[in-house]
Structure 1
């Protein structure tokens, strides 16, 4: 069986066969159950997804590609249903994070069976020329002594299996557990089993640190505009430097429901790596309504075009009352046709980071609309918003 070692830049083949080169990309697939399903659907990306946090911590040096996850699935079901679907799109990803086994523990599946199933998952991914990332199971509040023992033994087995195969390991259990009780650390969980967005942030930091440690991050940067005049960006005023009427809202944007919000264009603080100005929105109190601001009629796409979207972002949303922010891209003047939700129900303070995503323009779409929806209280900053038509630029295959 081929091995992947952190001290070796590639797989080292078994003595009976040739070695295989490690994928050079930084695209990640995710495989799992409801904890992974919390990342959102094919369009919306929310703060309960640990990988979204990890990518933000690393300024998208690791990129989300796809996930296959279903609530309630055991490791056997994941192998039967999701693993074939994952392999069918193996050209889209380089690594796969596998977080599975929580439901096996809940269903009293024997630990050796769980480990055999996970071994099959990891080895199948390796055989496909990709790198599996083994993840330990999070804590389980209210677990019986039998369940708690199975969690610990399963995690021991995952660690031993990762070492045997020479694949990366992310110890989510260690990041989330209260060492006194073996439950979740207070504030990290939404219920007995699932992390909340704060728990996901903690998981994301550990995932990011681990990927940095094994060299999985690529020398890649999101294709952000860095100049006011960027004709390849079909969003004008990308650096938010133009505000003709001095109302704090940059040219090209309109406010459709202020709901107690204030807007301003703010110079980056000393040392902040942001070109141009921040587009800042603050809601001092929870008015009970939602602030909506938008830029509409972005013409620059045709059906079938692959579009890359990136921006700088930071937020303070954890006050009392807490805020919630979303940034959604729609078909122009049609909020019933969402194309990509880069930030969906985002409800946690976020350091300055880069957000990146891609979508394929569907049939009938030749214009885009960007909506920001902000409820509760807090402050969000947007910068360097960039739309690239990769297909029109001849970059579709990269």
Structure 2
């Protein structure tokens, strides 16, 4: 079967099939549809902060890689489920990624951990991996492969065999690789070098925060690793911004007149916030802060409601900057649509959602296609329901909500 990949090459035979009209049409459509960014298809290792967590990552190797490279990598979606094999990732999460409003231009296929029990499972997983490569390339999305981290159980030998085969495939097809093995492996044994620091307690499969940081730092250090990325720029709010749907510079938090520490135009809700304040950093940027003291339960936050300037089918984007005090904070940022007081749609985006979008300096983006019946488009930042053991806060700055369709940018 011929698959439209780079230069119209069949990824199984290497045959150059030619640049056909169909291939050109696909490339043109994909260039318009993909705004850039790195998507993640994964099992638990690249999806969660912890193996047992139900909260998607905000600090994983792909988020930390952004830190190391300084706004060069935009995470455009984390699609993963703990325990999934590559076959399950192919059948469940690949279709979700392809259907996303904010489809990435490159995707790291970070699976295989749950295919390493035996040779038959690895063979089936490898077939699923090659199918996903073909599908992504047919949609003009660049695949990036994954070398699995070492592990401390009987499957280590299979990890070594798997990684050798994936590395060969990457060289054969000219694909980039995220190497999660080398930075965590012992040079003498081939297994885990530092289980006590690099892996979660009592777990020799899932890297810890330290392990993820090592994966990010190692890959960031490789010469030219990110030269092929072409991420779309994010335009933050600025004074007298005519493109934003927010009135009177209210995304810049210049005033909290008549409010208890929160910006004009915003609405507070819930019981999970101890206090609100606007703080100015050394560069003069004003941040809207929400603090949650140790022991406080519940959820709550700030909302910005927009009732005009959109019609069904319009693509709405919210952008801004986030800063979070502690890893313990669980929060969401995004854009939603309401019919009256009833939630009818949630956008893709937000660092606590499945499709978290986070830059190194906290630049975030979320998008929503306005559904029929929507009367309100809402931008919001909230604390999710959790009880911190220490005081924490989350803050936002330079928020803009734009109708990309009306601006001719959709």
Give the TM bin, normalised by the shorter chain. 0.7 to 0.9
Number of paired residues? 372
Whether the aligned pair in 1 keeps the contact of 2:40 and 2:77 (CA below 8 Å) is yes
Q: With structure 2 as the length reference, what TM-score do the two structures score?
A: 0.72
Matched, 1:310 2:319: yes
Tell me the SS of whatever aligns to 2:366. Answer: strand
Q: With structure 1 as the length reference, what TM-score do the two structures score?
A: 0.74
Alpha-carbon distance in structure 2 between the residues aligned to 1:290 and 1:212: 45
Whether the aligned pair in 2 keeps the contact of 1:137 and 1:172 (CA below 8 Å) is yes
Shift in CA distance, 30/260, structure 1 to aligned 2, threshold 3 Å: closer
Matched, 1:379 2:393: yes
Tell me the SS of whatever aligns to 1:343. Answer: coil
Q: Give the 5 Å matches for 1:164-175.
A: 164-175=172-183
2:158 to 129, 150, 158: 150
Q: Give the 5 Å matches for 1:68-217.
A: 69-79=80-90, 92-109=103-120, 114-115=125-126, 117-126=128-137, 128-141=139-152, 143-144=153-154, 147-177=155-185, 182=192, 186=197, 188-189=199-200, 191-195=203-207, 203=215, 213-217=225-229
Give the structure 1 partner of residue 237 of structure 2: 225
**Larger fraction in strand:** 1
Alpha-carbon distance in structure 2 between the residues aligned to 1:124 and 1:26: 18
Whether the aligned pair in 2 keeps the contact of 1:277 and 1:383 (CA below 8 Å) is yes
Q: Which runs of 5+ in 1 are unaligned?
A: 5-9
Alpha-carbon distance in structure 2 between the residues aligned to 1:81 and 1:325: 26
How far has the Cα of 1:76 moved from its partner?
4.4
Give the structure 2 partner of residue 268 of structure 1: 281
Whether the aligned pair in 1 keeps the contact of 2:219 and 2:225 (CA below 8 Å) is no
Whether the aligned pair in 2 keeps the contact of 1:3 and 1:166 (CA below 8 Å) is no
Give the structure 1 partner of residue 346 of structure 2: 339
Tell me the SS of whatever aligns to 2:171. Answer: helix
Alpha-carbon distance in structure 1 between the residues aligned to 2:233 and 2:178: 24
Q: Which runs of 5+ in 2 are unaligned?
A: 50-54
Tell me the SS of whatever aligns to 2:144. Answer: strand
Give the structure 1 partner of residue 363 of structure 2: 354
Alpha-carbon distance in structure 2 between the residues aligned to 1:211 and 1:86: 29
Give the structure 2 partner of residue 239 of structure 1: 252
Alpha-carbon distance in structure 2 between the residues aligned to 1:16 and 1:296: 52
Alignment root-mean-square deviation, CA? 4.3
